[in-house]
A and B are shown apart, each in its own frame.
Chain A
């Protein structure tokens, strides 16, 4: 009975995507492709590192959802396993020559599964963590701002509110500290939300099929932002940036990635960089985090921060390496979409594949602008792999900022 209701619910979730389901060419672009001129080497991280079966991939999800819509009886456990083993990176959408949106479909199907009580246990646990403790890892609320202890640059009266996001607050605190430090040197004081008021931006919940809970978190976060009185929100998390950019904040509140402030200050000639003595980074690999570089992730993706960070690194005289998959077509590192919880070994293989390709290209350090990706890659570090750093960690370690009066 429950399974019949699930089938009905899944068909209803697929219905809004009917144009997608009946206009897939089966060209296989989202399955396996190499297109040198576009910087595409592979496409789907799940096919590469989880399972090569055609039930996965953009094409696989579209084909399956069409069968669901047409009333075919498909094994429920397999359906759940397949739809929850997508990173929702959106690379399938990026490469699709006719603009289909399989990653968006996956999120809708997940939501229908969750609503019918079919969320896999690791996925349900993420949601529970966010609802109860406002972060996906389930870390304690009280320790949320521990990363900022003793740090200069935090001022209660600052006009800019810094939202490091859950990943930087708990899993990549060095990046949060470096961000405050660098912005402090640039003359931008920041304010933090009290831990009890801080909330998840909702993006992780959205990705794993809990849109209502995501919305509730986002609304509470928007209220906390309004209470802060700040007119500018500075985010570190790639997902936070995208999520807040789509949230109704108080009129005139500007949402930025921390890098935007540095980029603006450089463009306006307000800051300069001096290399720290005896500190020279070797060749750098730059991670194109999906949420910051793929158009399917909305405003944040279209802004393509990695591309702009690369330009700054060039300007600073840093040597960057090229890998076969880069730019908006880079293959996901496995950090998002619930993958590290749902299938930790596959997520680790995704990270391993990423770091291996940077190592083969000669990188000694890999920089990421998304703390979620940085934390995930660090967990997968093996001997011989490049070091992984947040972009601000790198800037703070190797450069001193000079304010131009």
Chain B
């Protein structure tokens, strides 16, 4: 197919593959989210940093919006382009550049999938601190650009907290290295160096401030032993107070995954698996936990955690452990993924963070939305973090019939969550209409963007920018 003028310009500057065929561009319209997408004019599959810089330069010269994307498997819409844009596909930048055991880090390109990186680390007895719930096909670049979390979060918090430094192509086309790598010969070994942390500026930014081209991630020893168990609580309030106690006493140190579930989800799972179970005996809140370390560490921590739960009216609930982890851990894989976990496939995932004391209000907000929109199936879950919790509202819908309705219902739910002090986590496009609620943060972010990206070419509309 003959390339257009801009396609020729993009292709002429390096080894990048330029796509303009409408069929190939269909796949770049949207990600897994319910956020609207557009029809890009072209896509560039970059194979080098030079390709990235060239694409950014072309977009700047022609003042065409440019969106960055890898696997496109997140639920926030951060990779969804507007009409006429260029999509910069970084999935072919997928090399593991170095696993530096002396420095305890891995240096990778953004298109490396978690599956590939974990396999390579696993051969050395190592692993990553946080593996997001997008699963084996999710990319490191996509996760850190959209604040991934999941396995490892009770111990290490978020994917961003595990980043030691970045290489970024700025909207100007210039190359920036952050952390200790500001001194090129020193390379990556410390996140905080010289002055303010510029790394953080690009985490969760969905490519709106620059294109991440290299990522230094901390690596950790892979724990040898694993046990799962679940705790049941009589209400959300006691469950939330327990989580605070758990975190303050640092009993999360050997927890690699923790998922909290509301009463409806508990009932559906337990009664589905054991119809004879006495409904009245069901706890209202369950926390499923995965502890790893040495067998001694796990046994010690488990006993302490169960004892602590008892102080808040909680107790072990073995049946929920069995039901919850049996499906999630199908392959005894080190990490957890939600792909294929749910009985239905299409869902809107609305992600937020909250202080522990907000948990009861979070679940009440879901219940309110459930009652307001009974045409959808609503579920709510928590991911335990080192501090606070991460909430996910999961709304199952039929994409063919309910596309417009799900978007309206989701926006309503997002506003409800905000009113209940739940803070957007994966923002992308899903929360973009609400960014003006964040006052000075949003205006400062917009000013920063204007400075870095005067032509406004990088991911316009993402994060409401």
The CA-CA distance from A387 to B341 in the complex, in Å, is 42
From residue A235, how far is it (CB to closest CB) to chain B in Å? 33
Which among A35, A60, A63, A75 has the highest number of chain B CB atoms within 10 Å?
A35
**In contact, B346 and A25 (Cβ under 8 angstroms):** yes
Neighbouring B residues of A26 by C-beta, 8 Å: 30-32, 72-73
**In contact, B23 and A64 (Cβ under 8 angstroms):** yes
Neighbouring B residues of A54 by C-beta, 8 Å: 19, 24, 26-28, 43
**In contact, B27 and A59 (Cβ under 8 angstroms):** yes
**Which A346-403 residues have C-beta < 8 A from chain B?**
none
- Is A142 on the interface with B (CB-CB < 8 A)? no
From residue A344, how far is it (CB to closest CB) to chain B in Å? 21
* Binary per-residue interface labels of chain A (45-87) against chain B in the complex, 1 for a CB within 8 Å, 0 otherwise: 0000000111100011001100100001011001100100000
**In contact, A79 and B23 (Cβ under 8 angstroms):** yes
Take A35-B333, A75-B22 as given contacts and tell me if A25 and B339 are in contact as well, using a CB distance cutoff of 8 Å: yes
**In contact, A25 and B345 (Cβ under 8 angstroms):** yes
**In contact, B21 and A75 (Cβ under 8 angstroms):** yes
- Is A98 on the interface with B (CB-CB < 8 A)? yes
The CA-CA distance from A219 to B153 in the complex, in Å, is 59
The CA-CA distance from A96 to B137 in the complex, in Å, is 11
Interface size class, chain A: 35 or more
The CA-CA distance from A24 to B32 in the complex, in Å, is 9
Neighbouring A residues of B26 by C-beta, 8 Å: 54-55, 60, 63-64, 67, 74
The CA-CA distance from A38 to B94 in the complex, in Å, is 21
Take A23-B399, A27-B73, A32-B71 as given contacts and tell me if A78 and B22 are in contact as well, using a CB distance cutoff of 8 Å: yes
**Which B280-322 residues have C-beta < 8 A from chain A?**
none
Take A22-B400, A52-B92 as given contacts and tell me if A37 and B23 are in contact as well, using a CB distance cutoff of 8 Å: no
* Binary per-residue interface labels of chain A (215-248) against chain B in the complex, 1 for a CB within 8 Å, 0 otherwise: 0000000000000000000000000000000000
Find B32's partner among A27, A37, A74, A96 (CB 8 Å cutoff): A27
Find A55's partner among B21, B72, B119 (CB 8 Å cutoff): B21
- Is A4 on the interface with B (CB-CB < 8 A)? no
Residue of B nearest to A56 (CB): B24
- Is A97 on the interface with B (CB-CB < 8 A)? yes
**In contact, A32 and B135 (Cβ under 8 angstroms):** no
Neighbouring A residues of B113 by C-beta, 8 Å: 32-34
Chain A's interface: helix, strand, loop or mixed, by majority? loop
**In contact, B115 and A36 (Cβ under 8 angstroms):** yes
- Is B246 on the interface with A (CB-CB < 8 A)? no
The CA-CA distance from A60 to B81 in the complex, in Å, is 18
- Is A168 on the interface with B (CB-CB < 8 A)? no
From residue B282, how far is it (CB to closest CB) to chain A in Å? 28
The CA-CA distance from A60 to B25 in the complex, in Å, is 10
Residue of A nearest to B111 (CB): A32
**In contact, A33 and B136 (Cβ under 8 angstroms):** yes
- Is A205 on the interface with B (CB-CB < 8 A)? no
- Is A284 on the interface with B (CB-CB < 8 A)? no
**In contact, A25 and B32 (Cβ under 8 angstroms):** yes
From residue B352, how far is it (CB to closest CB) to chain A in Å? 21
Neighbouring B residues of A23 by C-beta, 8 Å: 345-346, 399
Find A63's partner among B27, B92, B119, B332 (CB 8 Å cutoff): B27
**In contact, A33 and B115 (Cβ under 8 angstroms):** yes
- Is B116 on the interface with A (CB-CB < 8 A)? yes
Neighbouring A residues of B92 by C-beta, 8 Å: 52
The CA-CA distance from A18 to B398 in the complex, in Å, is 12
The CA-CA distance from A59 to B115 in the complex, in Å, is 19
- Is A343 on the interface with B (CB-CB < 8 A)? no
**Which B1-28 residues have C-beta < 8 A from chain A?**
1, 17, 19, 21-24, 26-28
- Is A31 on the interface with B (CB-CB < 8 A)? yes
From residue A346, how far is it (CB to closest CB) to chain B in Å? 15
- Is B199 on the interface with A (CB-CB < 8 A)? no
Neighbouring A residues of B115 by C-beta, 8 Å: 33-36, 40
Take A28-B72, A32-B113 as given contacts and tell me if A52 and B399 are in contact as well, using a CB distance cutoff of 8 Å: no
**In contact, B136 and A29 (Cβ under 8 angstroms):** yes
- Is B340 on the interface with A (CB-CB < 8 A)? yes
**In contact, A33 and B23 (Cβ under 8 angstroms):** no
From residue A145, how far is it (CB to closest CB) to chain B in Å? 45
**In contact, A34 and B136 (Cβ under 8 angstroms):** yes
Find A97's partner among B43, B71, B116, B339 (CB 8 Å cutoff): B339
Neighbouring A residues of B43 by C-beta, 8 Å: 54
The CA-CA distance from A22 to B346 in the complex, in Å, is 8
Residue of B nearest to A100 (CB): B345
Residue of A nearest to B342 (CB): A98
The CA-CA distance from A64 to B345 in the complex, in Å, is 19
Take A22-B400, A32-B71, A33-B136 as given contacts and tell me if A53 and B339 are in contact as well, using a CB distance cutoff of 8 Å: no
The CA-CA distance from A54 to B115 in the complex, in Å, is 20
- Is B134 on the interface with A (CB-CB < 8 A)? yes
**Which B28-62 residues have C-beta < 8 A from chain A?**
28, 30-32, 43, 45
Neighbouring A residues of B345 by C-beta, 8 Å: 23-25, 98
- Is B331 on the interface with A (CB-CB < 8 A)? yes
Neighbouring A residues of B134 by C-beta, 8 Å: 27
The CA-CA distance from A280 to B337 in the complex, in Å, is 45
Neighbouring B residues of A40 by C-beta, 8 Å: 115, 136
The CA-CA distance from A79 to B332 in the complex, in Å, is 40
Closest 8 CB pairs of A and B: A97-B340, A54-B27, A34-B115, A34-B116, A36-B119, A28-B137, A55-B23, A28-B71
Q: List 5 A-B contacts (CB under 8 A).
A: A22-B399, A25-B73, A34-B136, A40-B136, A72-B22
Which positions in B face A, CB cutoff 8 Å?
Answer: 1, 17, 19, 21-24, 26-28, 30-32, 43, 45, 71-73, 91-92, 94, 113, 115-116, 118-119, 122, 134-138, 331-333, 337, 339-341, 345-346, 398-400
